[in-house]
Structure 1
């Protein structure tokens, strides 16, 4: 947490805005939700520094039977962190809760209100929200009372001191005349994003993201564990009720998330980020999956940011018995999912050849797609 955040897409956005890339974690802890969480980098960091029972991450993680760190569902509210952004004078791009999830089911609504109150005060900063739970984010942002509650939070917290054990933290003193005034809504300096890893999660989460009131919406396909087609997001009948149209409550239809759906009055996504998994138990990513997602974005005129390949790269045509650490892969021939096999050589026959992925490390695999980097970010609006 702090300034000079090294996450590539945060740094790229900050550079475009002549700001400092930073992270802000007023909540610590999380829990697994889907396969994208299995090798969570944040859980690994928290376990590394907290497994001995000391420090700010103590008690937040456990180990799986195979030794993989995971968050155990314990959450901590750290309100004093909010003053970091309030006291920062130079403009920053903050990745909020990069070590947790602001919209986790166990996060108290009052905590979220205080985070939004802080963001409402700090108009000289940009804030990036990213969640695997966009259903709760949608409910929070579309609730009629939310902006009033945020404004009352500003007024209520303004006169309080930060006593030990107090749930609240003083943000700013407002005049009596301000207590019923709504802040600009949606907040002009807050972007909302969702994480998906494959088509099933995209079908479940993208519709919620697109229905969130926000000045900008973005999607992070990282770690990418399967192909994702954003031009055909499938909405089943329970998701169709999100559109608040009784004629659609029993419908099943598709939505192009990159161009929006004018008949449904849904705005398109503003940005798509993609990347492979890194770390000791990283799963491979297919070049075909990435290329097809990039082509979807380019065709729709949407900025595409490719972060990394991760730990693996195609090893080409390897003879049987080649030593090394390999995983079954599609090597761009089809959409076959990967089945990882490490520790001994084993090849996968496909179209008469042995097509495999070889573990080379994040640095060696790089981030070039078709001979170039993809560092596109949304343009600054006037």
Structure 2
């Protein structure tokens, strides 16, 4: 883990000093406040350890007799901080620990220094607001509009979603308020909003995107995760939104479309096309009966169950209404740490899935394994 004081020490050596007057105590404090406030806001969203203000203060105090750094150096420093935070955040999204190695930091710093004119990072808080909580400040910020591209495209998923190499989000936002939700973290970071929204301009993306030739060998390359940033079948979603998405699915048989919901009763009665893979999330025992009863009535060619994150032991009386089971751990996000289910929970599910003839898929973020000893 790169600690804030460690890469500030690097920057004490890397800065090109141009001003000739020393820092005053007041200048040190003002500069320190700006650093800490900016980092605290980034930390709240990226899971990097909070900076230790005393440690940074000590470093700055030790260099109080040195000249002030130039405006360019300040911009370089802030750009490097932002990119280091982003590198850690990307690892969190991929289900990895947010550890940025010294080599990665050096590469980021070097790349930023070579940028002709690095732009300053806007202040995230003014001085009067610096003692407010992150949540208070976020609520006060305006909602950022979602960019609309003239030619909508599918998005590539990360390696933690191997079974679908593409995502498509004509609907975004969710009201389940799951503590482990990665989609909310992403939406809040980039748009300061996770309310359900309909984006019809994204509907043409599957039709105008070609299936890669290599999909013949990797089925994930012809599979699209529909509404990875939403629950399309939440009770709050208008039926018209759902119908418009399903119309595209029916008109685009070259792709497989994977649907996943925590509200399986709304899947009943839909005339599912053959290229639709229809699933429900069961992360706790309370969802088991609801899933079993609903999927007895769901008429789809591929029906699956996703036990990710597996948060407790699950007991199913019958899995025969499903074709496929996905099992995964819990990746780290801004509200919860990484969590691995006990092997006994995984083994129990695996045994029942084999008994009822399901195909089984272990997610990359599942590392649970037997750890047994003879007596």
Calculate the TM-score normalised by the size of structure 1: 0.51
Q: Is 1:192 aligned with 2:282?
A: no
Question: How far apart are 1:104 and its partner, in Å?
Answer: 1.3
In the alignment, the residues of structure 2 paired with residue 224 and residue 309 of structure 1 have an alpha-carbon distance, to the nearest angstrom, of 11
Q: CA deviation at 1:40?
A: 0.6
2:157 is matched with: 5
Secondary structure class of the residue paired with 2:204: helix
1:94 matched to 2:213: no
Judging changes above 3 Å, is the alpha-carbon distance between structure 1 residues 308 and 291 closer, same or farther for their aligned structure 2 residues? Answer: farther
Aligned to 1:27: 171
- Contact 1:223–1:275 at 8 Å: present in 2 too? yes
Q: Secondary structure at the match of 1:42?
A: helix
Q: In the TM superposition, what are the counterparts of 1:359-370 in structure 2 within 5 Å?
A: 367=367, 369-370=369-370
Residues 95 and 127, structure 1, Cα contact 8 Å, conserved in 2: yes
Is the partner of 2:341 in helix, strand or coil?
coil
Q: How many angstroms apart in 2 are the aligned matches of 1:284 and 1:128?
A: 25
Q: Deviations over 1:182-205 (max 9, x none)?
A: xxx430100110001122211122
Aligned counterparts of 2:356 and 2:170: Cα–Cα separation in 1: 36
Unpaired runs of at least 5, structure 1: 15-20, 52-58, 61-73, 142-184, 233-255, 260-267, 311-366, 372-382
Residue deviations 1:71-119 (CA, integer Å, cap 9, x gap): xxx2110011111101112262100011101111121111111101000
Q: Which moved more, 1:288-297 or 1:123-132?
A: 288-297
Looking at secondary structure, tell me which structure has more helix per residue.
Answer: 2
CA deviations over 1:51-87 (Å, ceiling 9, x no partner): 3xxxxxxx32xxxxxxxxxxxxx21100111111011
- Structure having the higher strand fraction is 1
Aligned counterpart, 1:103: 233
The structure 1 residue matched to 2:302, chosen from 208, 216, 231, is: 216
The corresponding residue for 1:125 is 255
- The whole-number CA distance in structure 1 between the counterparts of 2:282 and 2:223 is 22
The Cα shift of 1:216 comes to: 1.0
Alpha-carbon displacement from aligned partner over 1:170-227 (angstroms, at most 9, x marks no partner): xxxxxxxxxxxxxxx4301001100011222111223213311111100000111111
Which residue, 35, 45, 50 being the options, matches 2:186? 45
Q: Distance in 2 between matches of 1:129 and 1:46?
A: 20
Q: Distance in 1 between matches of 2:155 and 2:172?
A: 18
Does structure 1 retain, via aligned residues, the 8 Å contact 2:226–2:258? yes
Query: 1:370–1:286: structure 2 CA closer, same or farther, 3 Å change rule?
Result: closer
Distance in 1 between residues matched to 2:238 and 2:258, nearest whole Å: 20
Q: For residues 101 and 7 of structure 1, do their structure 2 counterparts lie closer, same or farther at Cα, with a shift above 3 Å needed?
A: farther
Q: Kindly indicate whether residue 364 of structure 2 is the aligned counterpart of residue 304 of structure 1.
A: no
Q: Aligned pair in 2 of structure 1 residues 224, 205: CA closer, same or farther (>3 Å)?
A: same
Tell me if the contact between 2:342 and 2:368 (Cα under 8 Å) persists in the aligned partners.
Answer: no
Match of 2:268 in 1: 138
Partner of 2:205: 84
1:277 matched residue in structure 2: 330
Distance 1:7 1:299 in 2: 29
* Residues 138-173 of structure 1, C-alpha deviations (whole Å, 9 max, x = no match): 25x1xxxxxxxxxxxxxxxxxxxxxxxxxxxxxxxx
Matched, 1:228 2:314: yes
Aligned with 2:289 (options 203, 214, 219)? 203
Q: For residues 298 and 370 of structure 1, do their structure 2 counterparts lie closer, same or farther at Cα, with a shift above 3 Å needed?
A: farther
Q: Which runs of 5+ in 2 are unaligned?
A: 1-152, 213-221
Paired position in structure 2 for 1:342? none
Query: What is the Cα deviation at residue 11 of structure 1?
Result: 2.6
Aligned residues: 207
Query: Which structure has the greater CA radius of gyration?
Result: 2
| Paired residues of 1:210 and 1:217 also in contact (CA < 8 A) | no
**1:250-265 to 2 correspondence within 5 Å?**
256-257=318-319, 259=320
Work out the CA distance in 2 between the residues paired with 1:116 and 1:278.
30
